Amino acid sequence: MNRKSRKDEIDNDQNVHGLRKITYWGKCGVKRFPYRGSHRFSPCVYQSEDGGIVISNDVFGLTIRQFERRYKACLERRKSQEQYILNLRYPDKTSDEYMEHLENSKYCQDYLSWTADDLKVRYLYENLVKTVGTEIDIRQRQQLFIIQDIIYNASLEKALTHISSGSLAEGLDLRGSDIDLMFVIDNVDVIQDLRNMRHPVQCTTLVMETDNDHPGFTRLRLIAGADVENDILTYEDFESTSKGLCLSVNKFVSNIKEIFQQQLSTHGPCLSDQGQHVDFAFCLRSRYLPYSTISWASRYRHQWPPNSTIDKIEQYGCLLVPIGPRTIPDCNILWRLSFSVAEKQLVHSFNFTQLLCYGLLKLTLKHIVNTNKEAEGLLCSYFLKTALFWVSEEVDIDTFQISKLFVCFSHCLDKLKLWVKKCNCPNYFIPEHNMFIGKINSDNNTILLNVLNGIRCDGIDGLTNQIFPYKNGSLRLQRKYSESSCFKLDFLFYRIFSVTYITDLSQCLKKLMIIESLIKSKYSTFIIDVCKYCHAEISQNAAQLLPPPSINTETYSIHKLYHRRLQDGTKADAVSGWLLYASFYYLTEQYNVTLRLTDYVLSRCSADMVVTHCANYSEEVMNNYRKHVHPTMTLNDKMRITTVSDVEYIKHSSLIPTELQLEVEDHNMSVAPTVMSQCLNFLCYHHLGDISNRQQALRDLYLTVINLNFTLSRILSNSITILGVCYEISGDKDTAYQYYDQALQFNGGICSSAEAGKSKLLEV
């Protein structure tokens, strides 16, 4: 082709259908595209016969209409594979990058385009979001538990690794959810094969011996013991068998109960507190997945789970929890393989539709399946989660879209029906492990199958009406979600978050540095505020590890350190930091300053304040909280305005009043803010020689303790002991003895110094 003649032909064509030729350098000042192909000449724009615009000599060789059609087709393809693309970009959906994507995305505003035919799905979706939360709510909950684990495990003096587990740590905060905590015993090496053994042996080493008759369970045989005995795992925990010394389940659990000296009840592999609000699972970790899970990592699947998640699971290994098979009630040497960490990572990789489907399955279990007395207790939420895992890897990830929410739920329901019919629920990691054994069999599966068939036949109408009943018999859509979701997140934080105090100042300062780096690196404002709260709490801890304050002028630099840590500590809540400050001024004999601070603390302890670390919060407390805060406020501002916490004196605290040093001789001591304020008032007036005000302060302290003002039951023994100490100082030995004795009558949480105080009075 003669390119020159082609150029001359175009250049001579000055007018096409009345439209003067317009070159790019004439219109936009662009002389030439930097294109190395055959299109070396300046593109021209002119009108085509159909009324459109033709670009001559353009790079793509497309008309604008063609380009628009191709562009729209590209967008449609991208939209149809949106979840696949998101999984590639953000395999870890708890990451700060994904949080930033959510907050910048229009989809995070919970607004979707619905057609009239989707009205029922939309009603289900909006009520689910109101119950389960928006995706940002769920991701913030997940990050909250991740941060809690990071900060807890930052201490190098620990003997246990803290792992948050259960549905709360997975991001679902449904009514009645318990707090599930796992504690992995450090300095115990559990290996898969003798070839994995480390030399020289530095810790107790156990080898897994899988039981072929009971897939999912294993024996733990001792093959080497460390020179230094583990504080938790002792030789007394092993049982002699024909194959050697195997770790005993019963002896292990009994030893844990004895070490932690709490009223704990057995609940499956866990130990539960008195109120059944927290489940503790003490377990061991193997850095190797058992041989029975080899097929899991390599088996065929669609796009879920992401390869990076599979790699993380393989790198972590598994846990071993102290419980044997249901079919062998007296089995003492079989431990269950637990994939709790892996399952949490899998749920964290879920997209929003998968999370909503998970929540819908749990609500179906609670509101439909378990309301049938004959079927109640046959299914558990773990079976439902397992069904969702299997369905998620068997279907295309783009099946999990909001508009197909009920379709996804139906896939899981059909999977459960198939399992119940066969009486076989294959474990997601070890399919040979039938989790229905000992629970669902041919004698009771028909009952459950009928219930599941009923849910399937009723369709979306029946499901929605049983879980989210229609008001006045009609669908009423929520145009805007309640702002209570952010308040719900606040109360989850107040309920579950606590900071473990440590007794080494250097480790305390290292933990502060770690928290400061987290504050700088995190994206979510809520998570940053959580880190700031932890910084304030650890600052209170650090202040109590400084040398004891005194009134000597030589200790100016020490006092400066106290002021720095105590000022940071006042940012935790409305009162606890100020009470430690009051204790500091009391020890430096600045009694009038102490009295002003305690008056301030008592003025803040009004009836409408929220007490942190409660197991549950009533609707009345939550509604009252909403009246005093606003969603735009930061978590730290909300806490300084509306929350009160116990003041925590650590073991051998440098800030404990001299009269109460016996109370922290062996343990930390938590005291209600009102009780500690009245106690400091009493002690100040005692040293000032103001007998009248001293007696009034003692009377106020008595009323505070008796009326349980801001006093949680677990620290009531401490409050009564302090009351006894004050009566003893006032000279009323008989009343002091009475309160020491009363402090010893509680089932749990007994103040250790009450017995010593009682014995001392008997000697007099």
| Residue-wise pLDDT tens digits, 30-79 | 444 444 444 455 556 666 666 565 555 555 555 556 667 777 777 777 76
pLDDT tier, 702 (very low <50, low <70, confident <90, very high otherwise): very high
**Are 167 and 174 within 8 A, CB to CB?**
yes
Q: What is the pLDDT of residue 143?
A: 94
How much is the pTM? 0.84
pLDDT tier, 696 (very low <50, low <70, confident <90, very high otherwise): very high
Could you count the other beta carbons within 10 Å of the beta carbon of residue 236? 11
CA distances to 162, 198, 496, 635, 653 from 640, rounded to whole Å, are 28, 51, 18, 9, 24
For residue 180, list its beta bridge partners: 165, 279
**Are 162 and 149 within 8 A, CB to CB?**
yes
**In terms of Cα–Cα distance, which of 355, 369, 455, 405 is closest to 123?**
405
DSSP summary character for residue 501 = -
Helix (H/G/I), strand (E/B), else coil: 395:
coil
> Does 452 or 756 have the greater pLDDT score?
452
Alpha helices in 468-618 (DSSP H): 484-496, 505-521, 525-543, 556-569, 576-587, 591-604
Q: What is the pLDDT of residue 682?
A: 96
Select the CATH number that applies to the domain covering 524-763 from these four: 3.30.450, 1.10.10, 1.25.40, 3.30.70: 1.25.40
Helix (H/G/I), strand (E/B), else coil: 270:
strand
| C-alpha dihedral, 599 to 603 to 605 to 606, nearest 10° | 150
- Position of tokens 């378990």? 370
Sequence spans of domains, the chain: 3-73, 159-349, 524-763
Interior/surface letters 711-739, b for 16+ CB within 10 angstroms, e for the rest: bbebbbbbbbbbbbbbbbebeeeebbbbb
Q: What is the mean pLDDT of the chain?
A: 83
**Are 181 and 162 within 8 A, CB to CB?**
yes
Q: What is the DSSP string of 565-600?
A: HHHHHTTSSSSHHHHHHHHHHHHTT-HHHHHHHHHH
**114 φ, ψ to 5°?**
-115, 145
**Rounded-to-integer distance, Cα 40 and Cα 32, Å:** 8
Kind and range of the H or E run holding 363? helix 352-367
Domain 159-349 has CATH 3.30.460: yes
Kind and range of the H or E run holding 323? none
Residue 500 has which token pair?
């473990």
pLDDT tens digit sequence for 590-646:
999 999 999 999 999 988 899 998 888 888 898 899 888 888 899 999 999 999 999
Of all residues in the chain, the percent with pLDDT exceeding 90 is: 44
> Does 47 or 4 have the greater pLDDT score?
47
Cβ-based neighbours of 604, under 8 Å, separated by 6 or more: 574, 575, 644
| C-alpha dihedral, 693 to 699 to 705 to 706, nearest 10° | -160
> Identical fold at 159-349 and 524-763?
no
**Rounded-to-integer distance, Cα 629 and Cα 652, Å:** 37
Cα 214 from chain centroid (whole Å): 32
Q: What is the pLDDT of residue 10?
A: 43
Q: Which amino acid is at 721?
A: T
Could you count the other beta carbons within 10 Å of the beta carbon of residue 179? 19
**Rounded-to-integer distance, Cα 747 and Cα 281, Å:** 22
Q: Which amino acid is at 557?
A: S
Cβ-based neighbours of 195, under 8 Å, separated by 6 or more: none
